[in-house]
Amino acid sequence: MESATPRRGARFAWRAITRGWRNRCPHCGRGKLFATFTRHLQTCPACGLVYERNAGDTWAYTVFGDRIPVALLIALVYFGVFRGHRALGVACFVAVFALFIWTSPRRWGVGIALHYLTRVYWPDDSDPVPPESGPA
C-alpha cells in the first residue's frame, strides 16, 4: 500500500537518521528515545510512534553498529600499533573505547531510526506508524 505523502526521498531518510543520532523520535523529532542511558522508551511521548513493535526488532542494527568500533580495536591490535608504539597503542585503544561508550545511545538511536525507515519504506497494514503531520 503506497502512501500519498512525499516522504520517501533521501532527505526524509537523512532527517530520520539525524534525529536518531540526536536521540529524538525519527518520526516527529520532538520526543526523546531514551529514558535512561541504556533503556529506550516504548513509544514517542509526542507523536505516539511505537519504537520497537516486537522485542528485538532493532537487534540487527545494534549488532552492526556495535561491531564497527570493535573491528577498529581489532585492527589496531592486528596491525601492531601496540607492539611498535606501546603508548600510542594504549592511547588509541582508550580513545576508541571511550568513543564506543560515549556514542552507544547515539548508535542505538540510529538503529531505531533505521528500523523506522524500513517500516516506512515497506509498510505493514498492522503497523502503528502515525501519519505524517507535515514538515518538522
**pLDDT per residue of the chain (136 residues) written in tens, 0 to 9:** 444 444 578 899 999 999 999 999 999 999 999 888 878 888 899 888 888 887 777 878 878 877 877 887 788 778 876 777 778 878 877 887 888 888 888 988 999 999 999 888 888 888 777 877 655 4
Q: How far apart are CA 60 and CA 107, in angstroms?
A: 12
Cβ atoms within 10 Å, residue 65: 19
Contact 111, 61 (CB under 8 A): yes
CA distances for 1 relative to 27, 57, 110, 125, angstroms: 19, 22, 26, 8
Question: How far apart are the C-alpha atoms of 26 and 20, rounded to whole Å?
Answer: 6
Q: How confident is the model at residue 2, as a pLDDT?
A: 47
Which pLDDT belongs to residue 7? 56
pLDDT at position 15 is 93
- Global confidence as pTM: 0.76
